[in-house]
Chains A and B, each alone.
Chain A
């Protein structure tokens, strides 16, 4: 059975990507993994006080992503694609979205990566290039960019 990895965030673009993946997963009986990557860098600067509570805040960030992004998305899937028998898994990670998705695709192993064309961070994308742009260049598997 083939499996497909979908990068998700709060944006409408990522919902369209999920819809795209689910529609094809139903026909081809793929497994679908929804992954949200919380932006984080191992080389950022922080104060000792922040470091002391980092572990706590990390847990809080993951819980927040679960309740604000993943859970609403799962409910939305149930309403958009009712009565499906697709195997949907979810995961929340910390890292740079493009690198993390590419790494996961390699380790998975996944056969396909699906992302929305526009995500949450317009400013960052304008300056540093967007996640889909980077994925297309670096991902080890085929990438579908959903408009």
Chain B
């Protein structure tokens, strides 16, 4: 979801520039300290990697072993569940597994898949793709665990709405340490996810949307290159966001939620066009990926460097371990919490194993100059990820960068809307559910959308990444404590599927009209 692309773009002069400078200078110490303290780089076999990368990959590995490679063993079950094979007939009109999955995907499929992968293959070479896929596969087990818990401990409110996710299961997980520590840890998580939502899910998205819009309209010389354009762009974007989340203008959200899957399909199709126009190069590209994974050339830190780049991009793209997806999956209508876990494990598969791999293959096969130049030098400057991907498409489909700009804007917008919701639920966990407090948060959120477009990029990202680590640390600690619960339900589910009990349950008429939390 986030990416290490660097697009500094402060206005050069005038009063708007001075506002930007003020915001920048105000933000700089916060970004600096949060990055230095929380996002501490660990030296690792002669190179350095942020501790969060190890934490996330270790979790994926542990869950994969503990649940007996559920992501492979249960893959078929996942597809059956998402197609509604075990859904009750009487539950029509409620949130289906498919709808919970696509709603969660709208928050993860985005810039990480386009820009983040561009960065990965430029810095890490083609071999980064291999480790990205591996990390994606491990992430499936993490999502399985956290989303099962999200549904298992969800809450049905008085008005009938359903919320779940880490805010609900963390207090239960940490309860063994006493009430106060449980409250404090959940509070820390809520603060972190709210701040990450505001930074990574909001400011970063706004920032990159503007960057790509500026790029296709002629860069610094285009009409978005002028002084203060960033601020005006930010205000318009924030206005649209406000219309959806404060004004409740559902038509915008509805249009976006329909356009995003269409865009995803167009994007993957475009990747396939580029790949198959160069069909003779596919075996070579795959060979590059595999040799590059174990024996890279021109990559800082050698093989360890490649592993870290691949793992990091995958982790940031599919959000496994952050607990955010567990929020989106929780309102699903099911009597078996683990069924949603099976659905959730498809998320990293779609996001990382399919879409990220498509982007990587496209870049490797099309070989744009930015990519080929990077392969020959060791000290590669971090490029703008969107531009790398954009250039790769341009080699085969000359007009595609414009479509890509539209896709980027839509992905960013839907991610923004989804994260405003995650942030809101964190906010209500901290400050309670009331119309006033909810609207206050939404207003603050929109202000940060504007801030995101005017800020220089490094500061936004450093801040977002440090919050990401905090989320992952607290959330996964809670999931570890509750992982036997998931295992029990998983075993039962597999057994009931085998014995045909699941199909029988789905066919039986409901005794009475029951609530969504049944």
Q: Contact residues of A with B, CB < 8 Å?
A: 38, 40, 42-56, 58-59, 61-62, 93-95, 100
Contact = CB atoms under 8 A, between A and B. Distances in A.
B104 interface: yes
A58 B327 contact: no
B378 interface: no
B418 A47 contact: yes
B154 to A, nearest CB: 10
Contacts of A45: 99, 102-103, 106, 257-258, 260-261
B253 A47 contact: yes
B98 A42 contact: yes
A95 B92 contact: yes
B476 interface: no
Given A43-B98, A54-B331, A58-B94, A48 B104 contact: yes
Interface in B73-107: 84, 87, 92-96, 98-100, 102-104, 106-107
Highest count of chain B CB atoms <10 Å: which of A38, A46, A95:
A46
A58 B93 contact: yes
Given A40-B93, A46-B257, A58-B93, A52 B160 contact: no
A46 B516 contact: no
Given A53-B160, A93-B93, 19 more contacts: A38-B93, A42-B92, A43-B96, A43-B99, A45-B106, A45-B261, A46-B99, A46-B103, A48-B331, A51-B103, A52-B163, A54-B94, A54-B331, A55-B161, A55-B333, A55-B516, A58-B93, A59-B160, A62-B93
A43 B100 CA distance: 10
B107 A48 contact: yes
A35 B500 CA distance: 32
Highest count of chain A CB atoms <10 Å: which of B87, B422, B516:
B516
Nearest to B261: A45
B100 A51 contact: yes
A44 B103 CA distance: 10
A42 B96 contact: yes
Highest count of chain A CB atoms <10 Å: which of B160, B332, B422:
B160
Interface string B254-273: 00011011000000000000
B93 A52 contact: no
A106 to B, nearest CB: 12
B102 A55 contact: no
Shortest 10 CB-CB contacts between residues of A and residues of B? A94-B93, A55-B516, A56-B160, A42-B96, A48-B328, A94-B92, A51-B331, A58-B93, A45-B257, A48-B103
Contacts of B258: 45
B43 to A, nearest CB: 39
Size bin of chain B's contact surface: 35 or more
A79 to B, nearest CB: 31
Nearest to B331: A51
A58 to B, nearest CB: 4
A44 B99 contact: yes
A26 to B, nearest CB: 30
Contacts of B473: none
Highest count of chain B CB atoms <10 Å: which of A51, A56, A61:
A51
B221 interface: no
Contacts of B515: 55
7 contacts: A43-B96, A45-B106, A48-B106, A51-B328, A54-B516, A59-B160, A94-B92
A118 B57 CA distance: 58
Contacts of A95: 92-93
Contacts of A38: 93
B280 interface: no
A9 to B, nearest CB: 16
A26 B103 CA distance: 50
B417 A55 contact: no
A45 B96 CA distance: 10
A54 B93 CA distance: 8
Given A40-B93, A54-B331, A48 B418 contact: yes
Nearest to B163: A52
A36 to B, nearest CB: 12
Contact of A48 (B84, B250, B327): B327
Interface in B227-263: 250, 253, 257-258, 260-261
Contacts of B99: 42-46, 51
Contacts of A56: 159-161
A93 B103 contact: no
Nearest to B102: A45
Contacts of A44: 99
B502 interface: no
A42 B257 CA distance: 15
A59 B333 CA distance: 14
Given A46-B99, A51-B331, A52-B163, A61 B93 contact: yes
Interface in B97-143: 98-100, 102-104, 106-107
A64 B503 CA distance: 33
Given A45-B258, A94-B93, A53 B161 contact: yes
Nearest to A54: B95
A110 B258 CA distance: 37
B236 to A, nearest CB: 21
A87 B403 CA distance: 59
Nearest to A38: B93
Nearest to B106: A47
A93 B92 contact: yes
